[in-house]
């Protein structure tokens, strides 16, 4: 039986990723990249809408996708902490997208063949898009990792900075596919890409405990309009 | 005009040369004994922003054809694939400057032999996997130097 929290976790991962990527529109290193990041943000938002709608229906308390996106506080968000981390430079965007899409692709594939029909339909749709995200982040990781001294340094720094949040990708249960079951496939994909990009795989690091200031800040911006004008529509 | 004919003639709001029927977005049109029409559509990409416009256009087409009692359902499985674009739809896309997709094959099928929509040369290269809409990629012709859109095999 799929729990509400399980669906929220996947939906929140996608929603927060879409919000972070949206901030890069017109700030990428080239125009094609602005378009690419906006496309990927839109894919993530599409998956988030389907997942949050489903979570609201399972919960049965009358909350729709908008209520879940705009009317929850940070403490009620179930996303892994990786996705809310800040992106000080483009290398951080690519590193995060690599680590995330190497997780989302095999997860969606497994869900597509899983017992929950609704998640199977969403997974079957989203996996095609995730394949493009993984492909895109892989190409950039290779280009930056095996590029100039500076791009290599920045790419490695980005991977190192995000590594403490890797364990969080695989936590959680309550659905047809346990995130932990995805780890072997993820490790194989990520280690292969990092190696080809002449980057090193960091040693395991524990996730820092404590508050989630980045999520609080992100939500303040994302929810501002809805909170100031409840029920506002375009 | 039957409900099916009215809905099948609705054009895609972003690729205005092809209909939603030719694109494979339109999955089913059913009319029950009371004249209630149920239209079933599926999105190309999960986040495709054209879906709201498509739903509105279907409603307008049905009303204009005298079928006011209708609903539009959106389904996600089976997932849309570019393999569902009809032969006629492919020809229209090509004529409008959007290179039609090859067979989808796998999750990320490499596009083999994308022909330039300007001069027809097969000597082309992909500039970016992501284009002006979710379903397109940006290509360039090495022969004539012009850029063009190509629909991603998906």
Chain segment B25-64, per-residue pLDDT in tens: 999 999 999 999 999 999 998 888 889 999 999 999 999 9
Residue A96 touches partner B, C-beta closer than 8 Å: no
To the nearest 10°, report the CA torsion of A96, A101, A104, A106.
-140
**CATH numbers and ranges of domains, chain A:** 4-202+211-228 (1.20.1260.10)
Which of A32, A43, A105, A128 is the best mutation test for B, with the most CBs of B within 10 A?
A128
| Secondary structure of residue A96 in the 3-state scheme | helix
Residue B121 touches partner A, C-beta closer than 8 Å: no
User: How deeply is A206 buried, as exposed, middle or buried, from its count of CB atoms within 10 A (0-12, 13-18, 19+)?
Assistant: exposed
Mean of per-residue pLDDT scores for chain A:
96
Residues 6+ apart with CB under 8 A from A172: A5, A6, A9, A78, A178, A179
Q: Which residues of A touch B75 (CB under 8 A)?
A: 121
Q: Show pLDDT as tens, one digit a residue, over chain A (234 residues).
A: 899 999 999 999 999 999 999 999 889 998 889 999 999 999 999 999 999 999 999 999 999 999 999 999 999 999 999 999 999 999 999 999 999 999 999 999 999 999 999 999 999 999 999 999 999 999 999 999 999 999 999 999 999 999 999 999 999 899 999 999 999 999 999 999 999 999 999 999 999 988 899 999 999 999 999 999 988 877
| Angstroms from A58 CA to nearest CA on chain B | 18
pLDDT for residue B104 = 78
| Secondary structure of residue A78 in the 3-state scheme | coil
Alpha helices in chain A (DSSP H): 4-22, 31-59, 65-70, 90-112, 117-145, 149-162, 166-169, 183-196, 213-228
Q: Which residues of B touch A121 (CB under 8 A)?
A: 75-77, 79
Q: How far apart are CA B65 and CA B63, in angstroms?
A: 5
Tell me which chain A residue has its CA closest to the CA of residue B152.
Answer: A132
Q: Which residues of A touch B138 (CB under 8 A)?
A: 32, 35
Query: pLDDT tens for residues B64-110?
Result: 999 999 999 999 989 999 999 999 999 999 999 999 888 876 545 45
Q: How far apart are CA B95 and CA B131, in angstroms?
A: 18
Query: pLDDT tens for residues A18-76?
Result: 999 999 988 999 888 999 999 999 999 999 999 999 999 999 999 999 999 999 999 99
Q: How far apart are CA A168 and CA A9, in angstroms?
A: 11
Q: How far apart are CA A40 and CA A18, in angstroms?
A: 8
Tell me which chain B residue has its CA closest to the CA of residue A47.
Answer: B46
pLDDT for residue B128 = 87
* Cβ–Cβ under 8 Å, residues B37 and B29: yes
Residue found under tokens 């995805």: A182
**CATH numbers and ranges of domains, chain B:** 3-74 (3.30.300.130), 98-151 (no CATH)
Structure token pair of residue A17: 């990723």
Cβ count near A113 (within 10 Å): 11
Tell me which chain B residue has its CA closest to the CA of residue A51.
Answer: B46
pLDDT for residue B109 = 47
Phi and psi torsions of A227, nearest 5°? -75, -35
Interface A:B, Cβ pairs < 8 A? 74
């Amino acid at each position: 039986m799929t729990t509400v929290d399980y669906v929220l976790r996947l939906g929140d991962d996608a929603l927060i990723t879409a919000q972070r990527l949206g901030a890069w529109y017109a700030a990428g290193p080239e125009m094609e990249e602005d378009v690419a990041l906006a496309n990927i943000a839109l894919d993530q938002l599409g998956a988030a809408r389907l997942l949050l709608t489903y979570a609201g229906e399972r919960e049965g308390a009358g909350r729709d996708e908008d209520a879940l996106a705009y009317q929850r506080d940070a403490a009620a968000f179930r996303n892994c902490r990786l996705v809310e981390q800040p992106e000080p430079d483009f290398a951080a965007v690519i590193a995060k997208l690599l680590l995330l899409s190497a997780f989302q692709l095999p997860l969606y594939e497994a869900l597509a063949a899983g017992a929950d029909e609704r998640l199977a339909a969403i997974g079957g749709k989203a996996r095609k898009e995730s394949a493009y995200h993984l492909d895109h982040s892989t190409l950039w990781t290779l280009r930056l990792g095996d590029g100039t001294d500076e791009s290599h340094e920045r790419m490695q720094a980005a991977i190192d900075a995000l590594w403490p949040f890797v364990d969080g990708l695989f936590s959680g249960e309550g659905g047809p596919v346990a995130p932990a079951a995805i780890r072997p496939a993820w490790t194989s994909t990520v280690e292969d890409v990092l190696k080809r990009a002449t980057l090193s795989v960091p040693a395991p690091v524990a996730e820092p405990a404590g508050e989630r200031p980045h999520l609080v800040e992100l939500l303040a911006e994302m929810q501002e309009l809805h909170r100031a004008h409840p029920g506002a529509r375009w | 005009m039957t409900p099916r004919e009215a809905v099948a003639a609705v054009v895609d709001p972003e690729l205005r040369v092809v209909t939603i029927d030719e694109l494979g977005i339109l999955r089913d049109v059913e009319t029950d004994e009371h004249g209630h029409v149920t239209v079933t559509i599926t999105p190309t990409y999960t986040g495709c922003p054209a879906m709201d416009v498509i739903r509105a256009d279907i409603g307008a087409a049905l009303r204009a054809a005298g079928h006011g009692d209708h609903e539009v359902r959106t389904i996600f499985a089976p997932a849309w694939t570019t393999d569902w674009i009809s032969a006629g739809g492919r020809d229209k896309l090509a004529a409008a400057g959007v290179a039609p997709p090859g067979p989808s094959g796998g999750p990320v099928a490499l596009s083999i032999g994308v022909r330039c929509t300007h001069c027809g040369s097969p000597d082309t290269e992909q500039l970016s996997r992501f284009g002006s809409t979710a379903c397109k990629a940006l290509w360039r012709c090495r022969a004539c130097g012009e850029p063009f859109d190509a629909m991603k095999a998906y």
